[in-house]
Structure 1
Amino acid sequence: MLSISSPVVTVFIFILGLTLVIPTAALTLGGGQPVDERKHLHLAPSDGTNGQYAVIDDDKITLNLEALNDRAITTAGDVFTITIADNDVQRVWIENDIEGLEFYSGNDPTAEITESSPIEPSASDTISVGVAVDTHVAHAGTETFTVHVRYDDDEDDEDDEDNENETPESVSLESLTVTPTSLETGESVTIEGTYRNGNDTAKRHTAKLTVDGTVVDSQTIEIAGGETRTVTFERELQWPGSYDIGIDGAASERVTVTGPGIEISEASVTDAELTRGDRTTVSATVRNPTNEPVERTLELAVDGIVVDTRTVVVQSGTERTVTFERQFDVPGTYDLSISGVDAGSVTVSEPEPHPIRDRQLSAATTAALAPPLTMGALLLGVAANRRWAIVSKY
């Protein structure tokens, strides 16, 4: 059974001495509203060689460490990945009190993923995680550790403990300036936003630059308690037209761009329906009716956030098709666009389940991690929910 307790999103991970199938649990908010944890993050085996140690089964990822050396420190980089599916995620770290077990970023065993050295992902980032195990150390009983996901509007845990009844004021955007508001294609506009932190302690905030509602750039800043801080963006505008340019969707200015009639005549996606992990192609046709070749940068946006770019040269009097390849690892429906032109949407679903036959499961749930980790496995149960902690009560 699961319960909701504090403003931190967590994933509970169980180190077990045998492989179990743990049924997927339905998560609910206090009001009974169902929550789909896959909208927040997704765990998957790495595409590299060490991804062979990770297996997906019934929405759980199993890391099979049976082959690790006895009485040795063994590292395995790029074993599994954490894909961030929520745009507001600011920090990710792994809380681990288990002696002899460490998690690190990518292939660098020195880059531990801890609260003091968290990963700070951008929108749609995929985090690669490696595992280091010291099999000189034996563990008895069931061990747990936790992956924390912190959102940019979460209060600090320390503040919650020290000021339990205090509600901190939020960081607010005090002013916005956009200059110039009239320019030629190829020229740049400067955007400045000033934030105020009404709290007594320093706060971090991710400022998002938007063009017609699409997030095209971002910066994370720290603002001292009771102070203000200004963030500055520079943006080259390559396409003629009028645009609303702003920060965080809270304020914007109208900017008019004039120049040759270079345009994206159409945009589309090849597949409207995908299975999780599949790739599709998103295309756009750029038309150049002028007498000179032009260079343009096209931006692929998924759900209003730029995730990829392509720079191309279009010869005079011609048109050119530009394509993007994109893999979707999290189920859901996504709106796609290229440089502001609608390319349609894609719906990603779970693969059809495969029946498991003649599989015997032990009724015992006692678990241990001990050298040489014979039949050892890590079972990662995903339970993510924005701004709530999911606490296991098995």
Structure 2
Amino acid sequence: MPSPKTISIISILFVVSLTMATGAATMDGDHASDGVSLESTSKYATADNELELDLKQLNDEAVTRADDAFSITVTDDAVERVWIDHDVPGLTFYRGDQPTATVSESSPLEPAAGDTASIGVAVDTHVAQPGTETFTVTVEYADNETESGQSAGGSGGSGSSTAASIEPSSFNVSPTTVSAGETVTATATYRNVGDAAESMTTSLTVDGTVVDQRTITIAPGETGTVSFERPMEWTGAYDIGIQGAGSASVTVEGPPVEVVDATVVDPDITVGESTTIEATVSNPTNERVTRTLELAIDGIVVDTRAVSVPANENRTVSFERQFDESGTYETAVSGETAGPVTVERAAFSIRDRELSPETAAALAPPATAGLLFLAIAANRRWAFL
């Protein structure tokens, strides 16, 4: 039997309210000879004695993705499967730039010696909580020995070994071929392998866009099932998944009604302002059709509109969306990319006033000091929100 292996550890510090998340993956001194290693492959990760993830601009109520953030390389023929364990709601690891291709115990990497897998990271701040969290790279060998590292905190401390308390045990989508307007059902079953009742929020995705969510609570040693029903209105092939459980391809057949264009009318706004996202639907058939358009912000559906399009005509639908936090947001309408919206903080404006020379001279020092104080206070507030 192979001797036990030392596996790398990864820890992430979530500070959602600070619009930043950082993490570090510590490695044992002889990790290079143990069959698995981690390397930085993007601007989000740096490698020295440890691999550190730095995910900037974690927007509130949004999904932030870092595709191809780091890589896992296997150098031992005895390695059969590799996956990432964690019990952090809102955190997903996936293959390369495919957010629905999750890396978990139910959907592991199965590499050969010499293979390198690129790993992306997504953080959903709808459910992610501030604080220090951990995740662990787990490796299964040919003799079914499974080794995983001890948990590590973001501050560099270590503790007892950890594993996800809730694990997916089955996933199914049915049917996999439907006509436009029909419904598919996606179902996932999870088991709580921990010692206490646990709650989790899981999401239904269509081509990586979150279209629905459910929260379930599972007693220790028990299983829980979550089921989503999804009307499929637009023809084409779609990847339907439940985050952390799996995904399957669904084909929708029917008339070629589609979104032919989507755009952001004003892509540059300030905090508190609204912009308009427009989408045009084309109906090349000889019958009137009705469809539902979905506006997605950063990969999550936030609004819907129904549109009725006469035969052989187009219709344009508008969404109004207000943004209360600065940042850059990606927008799409029913799978058609509309483009980014950049939200800036409002700048200070100072109006000139006509004052007598004596009054201006008397007010100049305190007015200058006051403005300087306000600017410093504002800058501090901007930095720590």
Show the counterpart of 2:363.
Answer: none
User: Contact conserved, 1:281 with 1:326, CA < 8 A, in 2?
Assistant: yes
> Aligned to 2:370, which of 356, 359, 362?
359
Q: Which has the higher contact order (CA 8 A, sep 6+)?
A: 1
- Aligned pair count? 247
User: Contact conserved, 2:62 with 2:297, CA < 8 A, in 1?
Assistant: no
Within-5 A mapping of 1:195-206: 195-206=190-201
Show the counterpart of 1:338.
Answer: 333
User: Contact conserved, 1:124 with 1:307, CA < 8 A, in 2?
Assistant: no
User: Contact conserved, 1:268 with 1:282, CA < 8 A, in 2?
Assistant: yes
How far 1:283 moved relative to its partner?
A: 0.6
Show the counterpart of 2:180.
Answer: 185
Show the counterpart of 2:100.
Answer: none
Show the counterpart of 1:229.
Answer: 224
SS in 1 for 2:247: strand
Structure 2 counterpart of 1:150, which letter? Answer: Q
How far 1:275 moved relative to its partner?
A: 1.7
Q: Is residue 150 from structure 1 mapped to residue 129 from structure 2 by the alignment?
A: yes
User: Contact conserved, 1:261 with 1:289, CA < 8 A, in 2?
Assistant: yes
SS in 1 for 2:167: strand
User: Contact conserved, 1:89 with 1:152, CA < 8 A, in 2?
Assistant: no
What is the distance in 1 between the residues matched to 2:289 and 2:131?
A: 40
Show the counterpart of 1:138.
Answer: none
How far 1:340 moved relative to its partner?
A: 0.5
Moved more, 26-35 or 351-360: 26-35
Deviation by residue 1:155-182 (Cα, 9 ceiling, x = unmatched):
9xxxx9xxx6352434222211100001
Structure 2 counterpart of 1:203, which letter? Answer: E
What is the distance in 2 between the residues matched to 1:225 and 1:186?
A: 39
Give the gaps of 5 or more residues in structure 2: 1-11, 25-51, 65-87, 91-123, 135-151, 153-158, 351-366, 374-379
Within-5 A mapping of 1:124-135: none
What is the distance in 2 between the residues matched to 1:10 and 1:241?
A: 36
User: Contact conserved, 1:266 with 1:285, CA < 8 A, in 2?
Assistant: yes
CA 1:204 to 1:272, structure 2 compared with 1: closer, same or farther past 3 Å? same
User: Contact conserved, 1:210 with 1:249, CA < 8 A, in 2?
Assistant: no
Show the counterpart of 1:261.
Answer: 256
Structure 2 counterpart of 1:225, which letter? Answer: P
What is the distance in 1 between the residues matched to 2:19 and 2:16?
A: 15
Within-5 A mapping of 1:16-95: 39=58, 41=60, 84-85=61-62
What is the distance in 2 between the residues matched to 1:342 and 1:255?
A: 21
CA 1:310 to 1:289, structure 2 compared with 1: closer, same or farther past 3 Å? same
What is the distance in 1 between the residues matched to 2:19 and 2:260?
A: 45
SS in 2 for 1:242: strand
User: Contact conserved, 1:263 with 1:287, CA < 8 A, in 2?
Assistant: yes
Show the counterpart of 1:171.
Answer: 166
> Aligned to 1:215, which of 202, 210, 219?
210
Structure 2 counterpart of 1:340, which letter? Answer: G
> Aligned to 1:309, which of 278, 288, 304?
304
CA 1:179 to 1:10, structure 2 compared with 1: closer, same or farther past 3 Å? closer
Show the counterpart of 1:243.
Answer: 238
Deviation by residue 1:247-282 (Cα, 9 ceiling, x = unmatched):
116521111111111111111111222222221111
- Report the TM-score when normalising by structure 2: 0.55
Show the counterpart of 1:274.
Answer: 269
User: Contact conserved, 2:168 with 2:244, CA < 8 A, in 1?
Assistant: no
Task: Give RMSD over aligned pairs.
Answer: 3.9
Structure 1 counterpart of 2:129, which letter? Answer: R
Q: Is residue 285 from structure 1 mapped to residue 280 from structure 2 by the alignment?
A: yes
What is the distance in 1 between the residues matched to 2:258 and 2:310?
A: 13
What is the distance in 1 between the residues matched to 2:128 and 2:179?
A: 42
What is the distance in 1 between the residues matched to 2:201 and 2:19?
A: 31
Structure 2 counterpart of 1:197, which letter? Answer: N
Deviation by residue 1:155-211 (Cα, 9 ceiling, x = unmatched):
9xxxx9xxx635243422221110000110111001101112221111111110000
CA 1:30 to 1:342, structure 2 compared with 1: closer, same or farther past 3 Å? closer
Show the counterpart of 2:85.
Answer: none
Give the gaps of 5 or more residues in structure 1: 1-5, 12-24, 42-83, 91-122, 126-147, 363-378, 385-394
What is the distance in 1 between the residues matched to 2:128 and 2:184?
A: 34
- Report the TM-score when normalising by structure 1: 0.54
Structure 1 counterpart of 2:307, which letter? Answer: V
What is the distance in 1 between the residues matched to 2:181 and 2:268?
A: 37
How far 1:220 moved relative to its partner?
A: 0.7
CA 1:184 to 1:383, structure 2 compared with 1: closer, same or farther past 3 Å? same
How far 1:330 moved relative to its partner?
A: 1.6
User: Contact conserved, 2:290 with 2:309, CA < 8 A, in 1?
Assistant: yes
CA 1:150 to 1:203, structure 2 compared with 1: closer, same or farther past 3 Å? same
